[in-house]
Structure 1
């Protein structure tokens, strides 16, 4: 099956990224800060962050603190590991493979975009609200509806970011992303970054 999308030329001028995104890692970032994210249920209502063998928790005060829960790191690494083979690249496209083994070609954010960032493989797909996944495919976020709502046939692009977003999750109504550049002047002034 082939799908074609036609459109008029986009006459909008490219503009600089919103300053709220200053500090997210880019391809130029040699070492980034980040880990696995988990919006914790069971009455905890905290955000779990695993960085290597260390577990952190963030509560409503937006303070990231070392967590004391035994087994949290092992649970997150076992249950939230980032799959390595959800997307592939060729010279023209991002190739997304769904759970049924079907392959779909998507546009690349940039021709030189690499699959692995400074923290290794990056999260490709995650449910961010009921029946809606956010698909991060080589620098572009797409809305991916659940299979019973049309699935990949109803895929819609949201934004091309070309950032090295290691993991992302929704927590308390916010989209939280990991994969930030080490301290920079621009990032230090960004109140949306938590280190």
Structure 2
């Protein structure tokens, strides 16, 4: 199997570890089959793994003050997700990670991260930079969507997630967009009429 794109991101110039380090990390990863709706990280649990998607789709969700869950991110084949601050600080997670689609996941455990970090001093810094960039990209995406109307949010969603949109249930897309499923169905219907 090829090295996941996330580990390639850890290689390169400057203060990043080399491809040799990434290959060593890759050999440490556990591969596990996951089923649809399986929760990999519950709210309030400490994140002890970074999840690298070999196949399938995962979603990250948060809970609002009314107890409602809201999807904030989807990741699919070759991408990565964790509750960043929970993983780094080993504190309870405010993000829940769940399988939207069955598949296979590679687990990069916290104890492996600590071990590799001691051997390769550049790893921790590179990892932090990559994960923080991904986290800020997600926040930027969500914050920009707040001021958009539902149609604009959906158009941007289709652009961002074009590679998996046909694999996502309507209710998951609606949750991500912050609208009701019925509203999304009507919106899609109107957009189809315009295209026809």
TM-score (norm 2): 0.25
Structure whose residues are more often strand by fraction: 1
